[in-house]
């Protein structure tokens, strides 16, 4: 085997946990035992339909210091919301997931224009990796036009295509299966290379400029496996290039994603990539209906679609948080003393915190509108009064 190999041939290490990124937004702590899981499952059954079928909008900063894998070529790079610097042996990544505020209008490419462009495109790469033929391209184009019909902006059209892929394409690391766009669409499955290719094909078929991105994901957070990976980059005329990982994060990627300067790697003995430090301040702020359940997305504006309640215990206790409203009940695990309820209607709610060894803490919460409220609770004993600090946005 050649000492140099393409990343697309080394996807055994790519994010095998990408499928897990589609899992429920309920984060359970195994330390709390079976009763924790039972309560969380009960709460999931009582989630509002709109919340259960949607992804989550996020906002905030994510920064990390990393060591790249041996043999990988890393160069500085930046786009809208992502900046990578190389300082000595370290790779430093900063991600800004604040709203994009893009107003670029969506003008879908006409089918005849796409056909002419395809006729001019040279076929590159081995036969097994070539893009689709005319029949497959027509099927992808029809699908993409249907998915984006009625979209006003390029951001919305891109979100719709990303959402369709996340809902309908399953992650499957089967290296015997072809990963061209048509094959992935027919099977409704692929690994990261095939998922990226299908997504790019759909975007380009309606005139949204996009491209595949070769990279490496460093483990140490988020539940994803460590290894070589492939995601995409889309272009918004008024904002520039923006990263997305179709099955997990839309319009941004975490700060553990390292973009490679070259698709060629030189296998060497040494580190497989290492997370040195991470400061992840990206928070869930709202529902995101265009994304699949479990997927997070960077939104385009600060407009709230529903109310959001964040609960924080200052001593970072583990436990269960149950929020009951007029027509709904949600049950979340407290992870490091916190959790966030999204997709809430305005109104009055009862919050109950079940803290092992400390009893139950109850609090009445008023959400007067489509706001973001944070409830911070101090360290409390079993019989301490229900006090807290609130902040609204």
User: What is the CATH number for 312?
Assistant: 2.60.40.10
**Does 217 lie in the same domain as 113?**
yes
On whether residue 28 sits in a domain, the answer given is no
- 268 lies in the same domain as 334: no
- Do 135 and 163 have their domain in common? yes
Q: Do 222 and 354 have their domain in common?
A: no
- Residue pair 113/137 in contact by the 8 Å Cβ criterion: no
pLDDT at 191 over 60: yes
Separation of alpha carbons 338 and 282, rounded Å: 13
Q: Which of 20-24, 86-90, 201-205 is the least confident region? A: 20-24
Angle of CA points 131, 132, 133, to nearest 5°: 125
Q: Which residue has the higher pLDDT, 106 or 31?
A: 106
Domain match, 153 and 267 both: yes
pLDDT-above-70 percentage for the chain: 74
271 vs 89: CA distance, rounded Å: 12
Residues 214-247 have pLDDT tens digits of: 999 998 444 457 899 999 999 999 999 999 999 9
- The answer to the question of residue 297 being in a domain is no
| Band of pLDDT at residue 143, cut at 50, 70 and 90 | very high
Instruction: Say if 5 falls within a structural domain.
Output: no
pLDDT on residue 102: 98
pLDDT band at 41 (very low <50, low <70, confident <90, very high): very low
* 208-217: pLDDT as tens digits: 999 999 999 9
By mean pLDDT, which of 23-32, 143-152, 343-352 is the weakest?
Answer: 23-32
Residue 277 tokens, joined: 């430090």
Q: How far apart are CA 102 and CA 266, in angstroms?
A: 39
Please tell me the predicted confidence (pLDDT) of residue 378.
76
Residue where one domain finishes, among candidates 254, 284, 314 = 284
Q: What is the pLDDT of residue 113?
A: 57
CATH number for the domain spanning 168: value is: 3.10.620.30
Q: Is the pLDDT of residue 370 over 90?
A: yes
Q: Is residue 224 part of a domain?
A: yes
The parent domain of residue 81 ranges over 59-284
- Asked if 365 and 235 sit in the same domain, the reply is no
- Burial state string for 159-192 with b = 16 or more CB within 10 A and e = fewer than 16: bbbbbbbbbebebebeeeebbbbbbbbebebbbb
Q: Are residues 95 and 228 in the same domain?
A: yes
386 lies in a domain?
yes
Relative orientation angle of helices 154-168 and 134-148, to the nearest 10 degrees: 110
Q: What percent of the chain has pLDDT over 90?
A: 62
Nearest residue to 196 via CA among 217, 175, 171: 171
User: How many domains does the chain divide into?
Assistant: 2
Residues 123 and 266 reside in one and the same domain: yes
Final residue of a structural domain among 284, 316, 347: 284
Q: Half-sphere exposure of residue 261, counting CA atoms within 13 Å on the CB side? A: 14
Which tokens go with 87? 């300082």
**Are residues 342 and 270 part of one domain?**
no
Same domain, 110 and 70: yes
User: What pLDDT, in 10s, does the model give residues 158-172?
Assistant: 999 999 999 999 998
End position of a domain, from candidates 255, 284, 313 = 284
pLDDT the model gives residue 60: 97
């Amino acid at each position: 085997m050649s000492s140099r190999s393409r990343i697309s041939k080394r996807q055994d290490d790519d994010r095998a946990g990408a499928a897990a990124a589609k899992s429920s937004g309920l984060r359970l702590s195994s330390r709390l035992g079976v009763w924790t899981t039972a309560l969380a499952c009960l709460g999931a059954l009582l989630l509002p339909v709109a919340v259960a079928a949607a992804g989550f909008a996020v906002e905030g900063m994510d920064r990390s210091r990393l060591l790249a894998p041996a043999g990988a070529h890393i160069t500085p790079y930046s786009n809208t919301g992502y900046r990578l610097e190389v300082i000595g042996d370290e790779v430093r990544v900063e991600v800004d997931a604040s709203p994009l505020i893009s107003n670029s209008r969506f003008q879908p490419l006409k089918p005849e224009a796409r056909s002419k462009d395809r006729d001019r495109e040279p076929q590159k790469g081995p036969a097994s990796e070539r893009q689709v033929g005319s029949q497959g391209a027509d099927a992808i184009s029809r699908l993409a036009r249907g998915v984006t019909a009625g979209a006003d902006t390029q951001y919305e059209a891109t979100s719709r295509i990303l959402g369709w892929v996340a809902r309908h394409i399953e992650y499957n690391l089967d290296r015997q299966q072809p990963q061209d766009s048509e094959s992935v669409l027919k099977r409704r499955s692929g690994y990261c290379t095939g998922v990226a290719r299908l997504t790019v094909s759909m975007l380009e078929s309606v005139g949204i400029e996009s491209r595949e991105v070769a990279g490496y994901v460093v483990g140490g957070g988020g539940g994803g496996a460590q290894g070589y990976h492939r995601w995409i980059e889309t272009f918004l005329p008024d904002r520039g290039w923006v990263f997305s990982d179709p099955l997990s994060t839309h319009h941004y990627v975490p700060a553990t994603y390292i973009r490679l300067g070259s698709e060629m790697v030189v296998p060497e003995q040494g580190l497989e990539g290492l997370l040195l430090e991470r400061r992840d301040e990206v928070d869930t702020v709202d529902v995101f209906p265009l994304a699949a359940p479990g997927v997070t997305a960077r939104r385009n504006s600060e407009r709230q679609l529903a109310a959001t309640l964040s609960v924080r215990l200052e001593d970072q206790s583990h436990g269960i948080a149950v929020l009951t409203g007029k027509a709904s009940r949600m049950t979340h695990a407290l992870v490091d003393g916190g959790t966030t309820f999204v997709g809430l209607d305005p109104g009055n709610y009862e919050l109950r915190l079940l803290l092992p060894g400390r009893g139950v803490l109850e609090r009445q919460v008023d959400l007067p509108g489509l706001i973001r409220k944070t409830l911070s609770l101090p360290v409390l004993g079993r019989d301490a009064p229900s006090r807290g600090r609130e902040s609204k946005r």
